[in-house]
Homo-oligomer: A and B are copies of this chain.
């Protein structure tokens, strides 16, 4: 039954409470089941009936012992090694004693410490993935897809294994640039939700035992203690040198520390893999404005926050303003940074005689378009700060306090489709038109997820949602194409389960583009009405792409400078009939069952939309850019 115990417990309650005669109660419950689930088909109804009957049949009395016989204590809310603030404030709130905290216990400016979810062990998984080091091909797919960043891998010197716990696993690594190293894939047992996405994406097959892969689910309780120790040991192993990685490859990216971990998102969440990816790629220099929605809840849910920092103490700064103004909020961050950068450069120039012209020129003219360039600038800022320590001038003191701004920052506006397509669209459009370097990530679940599944302009025609009980009558808004029309914003549509490579490329290109960028990311969601764990959500992502509902594309205006067409359609021509995609989801199939004629019409119109849109994208992508104007004209008219 998993977490769906209401039907069972309700039957038990009426069977023993005698509030109404037992048989009458059970009959009433079954009528209610018929009413609630009738639309979902007879199979679902029968399953619920069976749950009720079996619950009553297997009812037995549990005697409460006279005294406590357990020999263990409840664990402290957070472990002893947690930092002071977590001990004094966070733990109190976790324990439900937040009301007892004095106002003085809270940060005076509202700035909360990050990286605190790791102290709140939720321990919700009945089963957890277990690594088979022999079968593993070290591809990184499982690390990449894990919504809660509980699967990590490292490459390190075998010497470090000397102090390893006895059950700690490792194997020879397969990276050419890391000679004589070993590889470990480790799961955080008490942070894992047991969603099983990792197992689904594993491409390796255990040759000895059919059906097993290089990562397999196993009951958590028996191995929890060992894996706890292994996880602790794993965390102490050094992080891989990022400069030696090609981070656009999933294989290499798995070695990059995520700076977003153990959030409270649903098991199998379709949004958080994108958020984690963002944190891996740009987290150590990111500022994030988060719209209200799921991502603001799992991203900043007091008392703990999943956004964290690396060994250098660098991590994203994150804030949530409102539902309706998030793009503007992030643009405000951008404007502030640009102004501070300008001011810092001015001060650097003014202190030229103290700092030396060479350092000044290098700092002011630094090329930070690559990770290497950024790293070099970071080193320069260290030198700058050292030089400033000796100075007593006011300028030097001010510069010392803002010197870090000389390192390139990455500004992101992040939120769901309710924000981006609807409530915050006016502002989002304004940012797209502004020319400012703000990156926008839309976690598109095609519905207002956090508020309980209301229709947004992203909801496709025919899908059931709140305010669209009979299926949404109008088509899905094509936000990507609307943004393309500016021809001055980077735009991408991605689905990580369909193409992780295309997704990573889109993130890298978006961030590198010196102007506004928009990434629209397909995110399966429990609001689609099915169990998204295991392979279900991931397969639906692929089907969305294969059916042409979700066209993978990238639009990079910089390509026009090279005389190229800015639009690249990454999807193949739709090959899957739309119905094979949509009717696997109750949000669509519920209409097909209750109003087949209406559903048929929806399907027909949706298919027309898909055909038209595919044509439009193909047309655009095949236009000639630059080159001889006259020739172009000849071709298109």
Contacts and interface: CB of A to CB of B under 8 A. Distances in A.
Contacts of A629: 611
Interface string A467-490: 000000111011001100111100
A430 interface: yes
Nearest to A625: B612
Contacts of A488: 474-475
Interface string A622-637: 1101000100100011
A572 to B, nearest CB: 12
State the main secondary structure of chain A at its contact with B. helix
A611 B473 CA distance: 36
A378 to B, nearest CB: 31
B433 A477 contact: yes
Interface in A454-505: 457, 473-475, 477-478, 481-482, 485-488
Given A616-B620, A619-B636, A475 B487 contact: yes
A595 interface: no
B481 A475 contact: no
A457 B629 CA distance: 28
A485 B478 contact: yes
Interface string A417-448: 00000111111011001110000000000000
B615 A623 contact: yes
A239 interface: no
Interface string A396-431: 000000000000000000000000001111110110
A601 to B, nearest CB: 14
Contacts of A619: 619-620, 623, 636
A32 interface: no
A622 B609 contact: no
Contacts of A206: none
Contacts of A430: 422, 457
Contacts of A622: 636-637
A433 B620 contact: no
A3 B555 CA distance: 51
Nearest to A515: B474
A580 interface: no
A629 B609 CA distance: 13
A485 B482 contact: yes
A351 to B, nearest CB: 30
A618 interface: yes
A478 B478 CA distance: 15
A426 B323 CA distance: 13
Contacts of A435: 473-474
Contacts of A457: 429-430, 433
A42 B619 CA distance: 50
A457 B478 CA distance: 20
Nearest to A482: B482
Given A619-B620, A619-B623, A622-B637, A487 B426 contact: no
Contacts of A615: 623, 632, 636
Nearest to A566: B612
- Greatest chain B CB density within 10 A among A424, A457, A474, A629 is at A474
B474 A434 contact: yes
B474 A433 contact: yes
Contacts of A429: 425-426, 429, 457
Contacts of A424: 426
Contacts of A433: 457, 474, 477
- Greatest chain B CB density within 10 A among A424, A457, A612, A615 is at A615
A637 B569 CA distance: 12
A636 B618 contact: yes
Interface string A344-374: 0000000000000000000000000000000
Given A433-B477, A478-B486, A487-B612, 12 more contacts: A422-B430, A433-B457, A475-B486, A475-B488, A487-B609, A615-B636, A616-B620, A616-B623, A619-B619, A619-B636, A622-B636, A622-B637
Q: What 4 A-B pairs are tightest by C-beta distance, nearest first?
A: A426-B426, A435-B474, A482-B482, A433-B457
